[in-house]
Amino acid sequence: MKNITTFLQARKELQKKQTTVNSITQSYLKLIDEKKELNIFIEVFRDEALKKAKEVDEKIKNNTQGKLAGMIVAIKDNICFKDHFITASSKILEGFKSNYSATVIERILEEDAIIIGRVNCDEFAMGSTNKNTIYGPPLNPINKKMVTGGSSGGSAAAVAANLCMLSLGSDTGGSVRQPASFCGVFGFKPTYSRVSRYGLISYASSFDQIGVISNSIFDNALALEVISGYDHKDNTSSKKVVERYSDFEKKAKYKVAFLKETLELKGLDINIRKSMLGLIKDLKFKGHKVETCSFPLLDYLVPTYYVLTTAEASSNLSRYDGIRYGHRSVSARNLNETYIKSRSEGFGREVKRRIMLGTFVLSSEYKEAYYTKAQKIRSLILKETNKILKNYDFIITPTTPRTAFEIDKNSQDPTEVYIEDVFTVHANLTGKPAVSIPYGRSPKNLPFGLQVLSQNFEEKKIYSFINQFLTHNI
The catalytic residue positions are: 76, 151, 175
Q: Are 450 and 279 in contact (CB under 8 A)?
A: yes
Sequence-distant (6+) residues with CB within 8 A of 450 are 275, 276, 279, 396, 397, 398, 399, 436, 437, 439, 470
- Asked whether the beta carbons of 149 and 181 are under 8 A apart, the reply is yes
Question: 176, 170, 147: which is closest to 437 by C-alpha?
Answer: 176
The Cα–Cα gap between 118 and 152 comes to 11
